[in-house]
């Protein structure tokens, strides 16, 4: 009767614990960035293959750690339940189990019961252990398959994003090359215009300088001609006055009759000097 109760308790423990842990392992979501080691600010290296391989390896390691932790927790909980159930069996029927030094929870699962297989409870526990390990392996395989599928999807998304970024970079490079060529042509045109402007400015400055020198020479010549004209006008005035006095003397005689005959006044007429045509002002 006690053996049947132990079997029913072991069945309940194995079904309940395995079912709960199986759901937790299968429905485990993707690990967060803190587990995988991928920070949010690393998206700036998305266009490099190193980022893709690094992110994939980080995700794999994170998933592996999560699976190992969940599996270890499941194994520890099963060991505790089996140890508790073994203690209950030992308290109920101590003659059915051989004496042992260590607790069941401190032994590895593949050798938890030693070499004793004659007792029905031990055989039932071995079956439960095998079923639990099989369920754990199935859960791990299902989890790995799902994680592999998600990793493949992430890999495809990253490859597509990398391809789009490469296309965008190529387009931007083409635009940059076109803008560089346009700026080079504009720079050449501006350089030519500046050279032409400098040449025209130097020509204007040279022309202004030559005109200034020419005007200074003309002004100097005009000053000389004015001085010459002033001298000629003075001589002409003296000549005109002398001619007028001579004419008056011839017509009316000397103005002073008391003078002697041999002291006759004589005024020399001054004739204007001839000038060349190029000496007159233009």
Distance (Å, whole) CA 147 – CA 150: 5
Please compute the mean of the pLDDT values over residues 103-114 and round it to a whole number. Answer: 47
Higher pLDDT: 26 or 169? It is 169
Q: What is the pLDDT of residues 130-178, one digit of tens each?
A: 888 888 888 888 888 888 888 888 889 999 999 999 999 999 999 999 9
Distance (Å, whole) CA 281 – CA 3: 152
pLDDT number for residue 27:
42
Least confident of 48-62, 140-154, 242-256: 48-62
Find out whether 244 and 270 touch, Cβ atoms under 8 Å: no
Q: What is the pLDDT of residues 195-217, one digit of tens each?
A: 999 999 999 999 999 999 999 99
pLDDT number for residue 46:
57
Q: What's this model's pTM, rounded to 2 decimal places?
A: 0.33
Higher pLDDT: 9 or 84? It is 84
pLDDT number for residue 10:
43
Enter the tokens of residue 191: 């350089």
96-131 per-residue burial string, b: 16 or more CB within 10 A, e: under 16: bbeeeeeebbebeeeebbeeeeebebbebbeebbee
pLDDT number for residue 172:
94
pLDDT number for residue 185:
93
Least confident of 14-28, 91-105, 266-280: 14-28
C-alpha distances in Å from residue 23, one per residue of 44, 77, 94, 134, 135: 37, 15, 36, 15, 11
The segment with the largest mean pLDDT, out of 13-27, 57-71, 79-93, 128-142, is: 128-142
Enter the tokens of residue 188: 């050449």
Q: Which of 99, 98, 115, 108 is nearest to 129 (CA)?
A: 108
User: Is residue 40's pLDDT more than 50?
Assistant: no
Q: Which of 52, 65, 31 is nearest to 154 (CA)?
A: 52
Q: Which of 86, 78, 135, 131 is nearest to 108 (CA)?
A: 78
Q: What residue ranges do the domains of the chain occupy?
A: 2-182
Q: Tokens 């593949």 map to which residue?
A: 110
User: Is residue 259's pLDDT more than 60?
Assistant: no
C-alpha distances in Å from residue 48, one per residue of 26, 37, 41: 33, 17, 14
Higher pLDDT: 61 or 255? It is 61
Q: Which of 239, 252, 245 is nearest to 266 (CA)?
A: 245
Q: Tokens 């017509």 map to which residue?
A: 251
pLDDT number for residue 261:
43
pLDDT number for residue 82:
73
Q: What angle do CA 10, 13, 16 make, to 5 degrees?
A: 145
Mean pLDDT, the chain, rounded, equals 70
Listed in sequence order, the DSSP H helices in the chain are: 2-26, 33-36, 49-92, 120-252
Give percent of the chain above pLDDT 90.
26
């Amino acid at each position: 009767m006690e053996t049947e109760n132990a079997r029913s308790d072991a069945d309940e423990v194995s079904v309940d614990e395995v079912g709960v842990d199986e759901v937790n392992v299968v429905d485990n979501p993707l690990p967060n960035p803190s587990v995988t080691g991928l920070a949010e600010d690393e998206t700036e290296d998305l266009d490099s293959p190193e980022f893709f391989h690094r992110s994939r390896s980080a995700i794999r390691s994170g998933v592996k750690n999560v699976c190992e932790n969940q599996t270890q927790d499941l194994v520890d909980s099963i060991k505790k339940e089996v140890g508790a159930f073994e203690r209950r069996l030992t308290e109920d029927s101590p003659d059915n189990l051989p004496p042992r030094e260590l607790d069941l929870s401190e032994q590895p699962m593949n050798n938890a019961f030693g070499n004793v297989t004659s007792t029905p409870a031990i055989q039932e526990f071995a079956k439960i252990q095998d079923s639990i390990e099989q369920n754990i392996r199935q859960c791990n395989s299902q989890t790995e398959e799902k994680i592999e599928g998600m990793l493949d999807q992430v890999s495809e998304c990253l490859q597509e994003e990398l391809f789009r970024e490469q296309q965008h970079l190529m387009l931007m490079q083409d635009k940059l090359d076109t803008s560089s060529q346009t700026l080079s042509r504009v720079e050449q045109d501006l350089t030519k215009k500046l050279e032409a402007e400098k040449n025209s400015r130097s020509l204007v400055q040279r022309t202004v300088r030559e005109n200034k020198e020419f005007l200074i020479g003309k002004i100097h010549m005009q000053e000389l001609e004015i001085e010459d004209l002033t001298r000629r006008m003075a001589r002409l005035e003296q000549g005109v006055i002398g001619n007028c006095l001579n004419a008056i003397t011839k017509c009316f005689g000397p103005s002073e009759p008391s003078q002697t005959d041999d002291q006759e006044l004589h005024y020399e007429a001054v004739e204007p000097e001839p000038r060349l045509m190029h000496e007159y002002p233009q």
